[in-house]
Amino acid sequence: MTEARNQDQTQDQAQALGRVAVLMGGASAEREVSLMSGAGVLAALRERGVDAHAFDPSERDLGDLRREGFSRAFIALHGRFGEDGSVQGALELLGIPYTGSGVLASAIAMDKTCTKDIWLARGLPTPAFRRAATLDDARRAVNELGLPLALKPSREGSSLGFSRADSPESLEAAFTNARQYDSEVIIERFIDGAELTVAILGSGTTARALPVIEIRAPAGNYDYQNKYFGDDTRYLCPAPLAPEVAREVAEVALAAYRAIGCEGWGRVDLMLARGDSRPWLLEVNTSPGMTGHSLVPMAAREAGLSYEDLCLNLLGSAALKIGAPSVRGRAGAEVA
C-alpha cells in the first residue's frame, strides 16, 4: 500500500514538472561527453514518468523551447555555450526555469582565473597561479612559481588541455597544449597529493556536501580519456580520510561553492597536499557530468540517492534566477 502511494506521488510530481527539455550536445569541445550525460538524464527522467525530450542547441533554435511549450530545462551541456552563462541567459529571456547556477555564477566558474581571484579575496586556499597569453608569460611563471606546474586553459573543462610541466623543456609543449583551447592559459603551482572532489546539492545556506570522493588515476593522470572512457581509474567513495580531514574538505568546498554564488548543484575539485593534508581548491563545475563514469551520481548513491531520483530532484529545483516572474511578461507568466 505504501509503495503504491509513493509511486502515485512520484507520478504526480513528474506530471507537475510539465514538458521538459534536456539540453545536450551543444557546440563546445565537450559535446561528446554532453551527449552521454544528456542520454543518461533523459532516460532517468522518462523512467520516473517525466515528459522529457532531447534538445540539442547546436542543431535547433532555442526559441523552439518556447514555441513548443517546454515548461523547464535540464541543462546537461558542458563547456562553452552551455556552462558559461550563455544558455542560462537565453533561458532567462525566454522565461524557462532551468537547473543549476545562474548567469553570473556560471560565467565566473567557467573562468578559472576569475574563480581563483574570488577565492583568494575570500581567504580560501587555492594554489598560487599566473595568467599566460604567450610563451614568454609562461616562462616568467616558472621563475615566479617554480616547478612543477600545472597548465590548463582558463575557460575549458573535462581536463581538456591539461598538462604538467616538470622542467623548462616541457613547458613549451604544455603551454601549446593548453593554448589550443583558449587564448588564456592558467599556470598554477602543482600540488602533490590526493585528488579529491566534492559534489554539492542546493543553494546558499541550505547547500550540502555529498561524501568526498578520492580519484586515483593511472600514473596520476586524470585526463579526458581516463575521466570518461577508461576503466583503470579508481574512485574511492567515501574517500579514506580521517573524519576531521573529511569535514574540513567538505567545509572548504562548500565555502568555495557559495563564494561563486552557485545554485542547485555543482562539483568542487581539490587537491589534498601530501604531508600536511591541507586542501587546495582547483575549480568548481556548475554543470557536472552525468555519465556512467561521472562523480556526482557516484556520491549521490553513497548518500542513498539513486541516479533517477537525483535527476528528478535536480529538475524539481529548476528556477529562474534573475528578477521575478511578474516582470517577465507573457513568457514568465506561462511558466510561473
The residues that are catalytic are 30, 158, 228, 267, 269, 283, 285, 289
Q: Considering only CA atoms, which of 48, 91, 51, 93 is closest in space to residue 73?
A: 91
The C-alpha cell 526555469 sits at: 97
> Between helices 295-302 and 307-316, what is the axis angle to 10°?
100
Q: CB 144: neighbour CB atoms within 10 A?
A: 11
In degrees rounded to 5, what are phi and psi of residue 38?
A: -60, -40
- Kindly state the DSSP code that residue 98 receives in the 8-state scheme: B
CA atoms within 13 A on the CB side of 302: 17
DSSP assignment letter at 324: -
d(CA 314, CA 231): 28
In this structure, how many other beta carbons lie within 10 angstroms of the beta carbon of residue 315? 26
- Cell readout for 19 is 514538458
Nearest Cα to Cα of residue 147 among 131, 166, 130: 166
Phi-psi region for residue 189, left (φ > 0), alpha (ψ -120 to 50) or beta? beta
Give the three-state DSSP class for 272. strand
19-23 and 51-55 beta bridge pairing: parallel
- β-strand pairing of 213-216 with 234-236: antiparallel
